[in-house]
Every structure is written in C-alpha cells, then in structure tokens.
Amino acid sequence: MMYKIIKSTYHIVIYIFIIFDYAFADTLKCNYKKNICDKLDKVVGIKTPMMIASGTIINENIIVTNRHVVEDHKQFVIKFNNGEIKKAFPLPHNFPADLALLSLKKEPYQLNELPKSNKIVGKIRVIAYDQGRNANRIYNPGKVISFSDFNKYPQARIHTTAKSLPGNSGGSVVDENGELIGILASGDGNINEVIPVSLINKIIQNTNLKHEDEFYKIGKYIKTCADNLETAFNVQKNLDIKIENNIDHYCWSSNNKQLIDQAGQTFGRLGDLEKAKKFLERSILLDPQSPNALLSLAITYHISRDLKKERPVILKLLEITPENPQVLRLGVQVAGILKDKKMTNQVLTLMEKYNKEALPLAKKFIDNALKAN
C-alpha cells in the first residue's frame, strides 16, 4: 500500500520536501573548509517508496547510492541541495558491491569513470542528507580503522569512526582535502562502513541494460530480505517460520553484505546460533577486516562455547580495535579458559594501555583460570 500511495503521489512528496525546506531555511551554515563545504552540493536526498536515503552526484545527471537503497524500484525522487526536485531512474549492473547508479535521464546517458583516489589525507567525514533537518549535513570526522584488498574482496569496505545517522546511506565520504574517498554504506553507530571510489568505477564498468533482468531479480531478493528483517526486528522469540525461512533464503540470495550481516545478527539475537554462524562466517569471507562482523561472530562463538573458533577472531579484533572494551573482555575470557599464556600476555598488555581500571579483575580471572584443572 505504501508503495502505491507514494508512487502515485509524486507531487505530494515534492510538497513535503518544500515544507521542510521552509522550516529549516537559513538555519544551516557551513563552518568547515571551503573544499569540504563545496561538497554539500554534491549530495542529494533520495526518496524511495520505502525509505529516505542519500546519494552522491558523480557525473552530470548521474548519482551513486547503495544497492540496498535501490532494491527493485524503478523510479526515485531526488532532492538537491538547492531545493530542486527531480526524478531519477536506476541503471542496471552485475557487480556485487552494495552500490547502484541513478540517472536523471532515462536514455541516453554517459558514464565517465572517477579519478583514482589518492592517499587519504587526515581524518575522514560523512556528508549526507539528514532527514531530521531535511537538509544536507557534514558530520563529525573520524579515523580509518581497517580495510581489505578491494581487488580481491569486491564487497569489502573502509571501516571508520566517522559519525553518521540512519538515512545517510549513499552519502559522500571525504578526507580533509575534500577528496571523495567513497560512499557510506552502513554501520553500528560506532564504526561505519564506506565503499571506496575504486568500486564505484567497477560499477560504472559493469553497467549495461543487458543486466536489467538479473538486476531487478536481485533487487527483489534485497527488498524481500529487508522487509522480513524489519518484521523480525520487533520479535523477541519464536519468529514465525515463514519469516525465518524468508530471511534465510532471500538474504542469502541477495549476496548483499549489509543484509547478510543483519541476517546473522537477527538469528543470533533470536538464539538460532547455527544460522547466525552461517551468515556471519560468510560476511567475513566477503570482508575479512570488518570489525562489526568479526565482533558479532566472536560473540556468537562465545555464546555457543566454541572458544577455539572464537580465538582467531578475537586475535584479529585485538589488532584492528585493541581499545574496544568488549573485545578485551572476550579476549581475557578466551585466553584464560583456553590457558593460552601468549594470548593472556597480549590481552593484559592492551588492557594496561586502554582499560586500566578493569586490569585487576582481568588478572584475577586469568590467574584462577590458569590454576583450574
């Protein structure tokens, strides 16, 4: 019903955008460097039948956003930074990254690859559409934590502490020079995930109308997966078997890293640890340096008492996010119970540096664990 109403009331959506524009007019000033402020005009708000998201203008008449935003929809409402409203249409491709292109013209369109990004300068920040303000916004910066080999792992991301909010998916991520380094994909509020410019070019290279049928088939999987995950979100236990099967089938078939992560976390929360492991292990295969997925997998192994599998996951997390108190606590427990003296020394050294107040209790736990039979 929502799809039909919104799709048939394009002018109502425009009217809503205009009302919010008026309410927030002249309240948002850019207090950053000019090369960063200028990027506000490169970001758009995107209204789909099911969500509000962000997009980034990369060529004349071409916008990039996330594949999980596009789903199987065939038309979108775009709001530019100057308040202008236009329609946009998806361009089919067959590359697995969580990205998709939108064109402001149905045909013909011209796609030009983006310049290769140089070395990241300083901290990075998200510039995206803020649906609360109904305006583009520059968020607080953060550092790069980890990333994988993007040639080997086409669904891998740059992981960062740069801040963002729900609805920012598809927004620009820039460095201190205002250079575009990627597109925001997802995050947990503490660590966010960015798809690099190099993968945008892969999407451009693989965009072709001949992929239309497969593109919309995968889009249907993405949408069905997302709808069922939303239904499961408010369920505490005893998930309807049909919803469970839909998540298992459609999220897996979507081949979308964000949805695979969410499916694994959903099954873990509901106590189906085997399905949680299945999805989270696949997520790690797609992006071996993902702190969010690694931590979710470590917790799943911990709850199921599979500490031997948990140990290498924790060791990797200690390299990527050594300051994370939850990782340190899990590391203490795993090292102690498995009587791994090398690991205990590593964890206690990191705890001395990052979580000194918890160190006495950690030492006591490890001492008792090493003495136990």
Q: How many residues does the chain have?
A: 373
Shared domain for 183 and 243, answered yes or no, is no
Residues 171 and 221 in one domain: no
Ordered mean pLDDT values, 10 residues apiece, the chain (373 residues)? 30 41 47 93 93 94 96 96 95 96 86 84 95 92 94 95 94 95 88 95 95 98 97 90 98 97 96 97 97 97 97 98 97 97 96 96 94 79
Q: What is the H or E stretch that residue 281 is in?
A: helix 273-286
Contact 93, 65 (CB under 8 A): no
Contacts of 112 (CB under 8 A, 6+ apart): 59, 204
pLDDT of 106 reads: 82
Q: So what's the pLDDT on residue 31?
A: 86
Q: How far is residue 123's CA from residue 50's CA, in Å, rounded to a whole number?
A: 33
- pLDDT by residue (tens digit) across 169-218? 999 999 999 999 999 998 777 899 999 999 999 999 999 999 999 999 99
Question: HSE of 158 in the Cβ direction (CA atoms, 13 Å)?
Answer: 26
Angle at 349 between CA 345 and CA 355, to 5 degrees: 130
- The 3-state DSSP class for residue 130 equals strand
Number of folded domains in the chain? 2
3-state helix, strand, coil in the chain (%, to 5): 50, 20, 35
Cβ burial of 114 (10 Å; 0-12, 13-18, 19+) is middle
Give the residue from 330, 331, 328 showing the smallest Cα distance to 355.
328
Interatomic CA distance for residues 292 and 185, integer angstroms: 13
- 197 and 84 in a single domain? The answer is yes
Domain shared by 358 and 274, yes or no? yes
**Domain closes at, from 160, 180, 204:** 204
Question: Does pTM top 0.75 for this prediction?
Answer: yes
State whether 179 and 306 are in the same domain.
no
Q: Does residue 223 sit in the same domain as residue 365?
A: yes
Q: CA 357: distance to chain centroid?
A: 33
Domain interval for residue 340? 210-371
Q: Which two tokens stand for residue 140?
A: 């607080």
| Domain shared by 281 and 175, yes or no | no
pLDDT confidence of residue 244: 97
CATH of the domain at 311: 1.25.40.10
The answer on 215 and 191 residing in a single domain is no
What is the CATH classification number for the domain harbouring 47?
2.40.10.120
The residue among 204, 230, 251 that closes a domain is 204
Sheet holding 135-138, edge to edge: 135-138, 125-130, 172-174, 180-187, 192-196, 158-160, 144-146
Give dist(CA 183, CA 117) in Å, integer. Answer: 13
What tokens were used for 360?
């006495």
pLDDT in tens, 7-60: 333 333 444 444 334 333 333 578 889 999 999 999 999 998 888 999 999 998
Are 243 and 193 in the same domain? no
135 and 151 together in one domain: yes
Nearest-Å Rg of the Cα atoms of the chain is 22
Structure tokens at 357: 């107040």
Give the Å distances, CA to CA, from 140 to 126, 146, 164, 364. 8, 19, 8, 39
Are 168 and 218 members of one domain?
no
CB 151 within 8 A of CB 206: no
176 and 248 in a single domain? The answer is: no
Helices (H) and strands (E) in the chain, counts: 15, 13
Report how far residue 125's alpha carbon sits from residue 161's, in angstroms, rounded to the nearest whole number.
9
Last residue of a domain, one of 204, 221, 236: 204
